[in-house]
Amino acid sequence: MEKDQNQTEIKSSSDEKEENLDTQTSINSEKEIQKEPEEKSSEEKILELEDKLARTFAEMENQRRRFEKEKEDAYEYGGFAFAKEALNLIDNLERSKQILSNDESLKNSEALKKTLEHFDIINKDLISVFSKNNIKPIESLNKKLDPNLHQAMMEIEDNQKEPGTIIQEIQKGFTIKDRLLRPALVGVSKKSENMAQKDKENKDNLENK
């Protein structure tokens, strides 16, 4: 009887040891499992830092390029506002010529002729100075209307020209390098109503054939 009791105690002790061993093994496994996310988290943090660093360098490069572009534009087009104001000189010369030419008391006089000649010389000198600084007049007369360069102010009946052809220049336009400094104000041709009606009738007749 005592022998059986001893065997039972030995078996119980053995079971407890096995249970303790299993528990310890389970705890160790949990610790290992817990360690893995920490290691991955560290790797993720490193990747995030690398990504942020790359983005920072990219942003710095973009800012450098923007600064270079702004500096270049300031050098190339820094006189844009001044040039636009200076165009008033040409406008005033042209207005003065028109006023003097329309003055009945001065018509056909030698004084008027000489004055207009001087105005033309001053105008050519101004255009020359502008051209040296890449400010050039826009060619308009007999050109097709280009919305990027011209601004139509009126339509004029003219059956000899294609509709949309510039036949009058009200105010000269200018460019500065590859930019529009001021659009040319122009009058464009259009067909008379009778001619437009005839064209429409001819077109309808051709379509009905």
Name beta bridge partners: 180. Answer: 175
Q: Which pLDDT does position 37 carry in this prediction?
A: 47
Q: Which pLDDT does position 148 carry in this prediction?
A: 94
Q: Which pLDDT does position 189 carry in this prediction?
A: 94
Please name the residues in contact with 202: beta carbons below 8 A apart, sequence gap of 6 or more: none
Q: Are 189 and 158 in contact (CB under 8 A)?
A: yes
Each residue's pLDDT, cut to its tens digit, for the chain (209 residues) gives: 544 544 554 445 555 555 554 555 555 555 554 544 455 677 777 788 878 878 887 888 887 788 777 666 665 666 788 888 889 888 998 889 889 888 888 888 888 899 999 999 998 999 899 998 889 999 999 999 999 999 999 999 998 889 999 999 999 999 988 889 999 999 999 988 766 565 555 565 566 65
Q: Which pLDDT does position 2 carry in this prediction?
A: 47
Q: Which pLDDT does position 3 carry in this prediction?
A: 45
The model's pTM is: 0.56
Under CATH, what is the fold of the domain 137-209? Nucleotide Exchange Factor Grpe; Chain A, domain 2 (2.30.22)
Q: Which pLDDT does position 75 carry in this prediction?
A: 59
Q: Which residue ranges make up each domain of the chain?
A: 1-77, 85-133, 137-209
Please name the residues in contact with 135: beta carbons below 8 A apart, sequence gap of 6 or more: 83, 174, 175, 176, 181
Distance, CA of 123 to CA of 135 (rounded, Å): 14
141: exposed, middle or buried (Cβ count in 10 Å: 0-12, 13-18, 19+):
exposed
Tell me whether strands 184-190 and 150-157 are parallel, antiparallel or unpaired: parallel
Q: Which pLDDT does position 197 carry in this prediction?
A: 61
Distance, CA of 183 to CA of 140 (rounded, Å): 10
32: exposed, middle or buried (Cβ count in 10 Å: 0-12, 13-18, 19+):
exposed
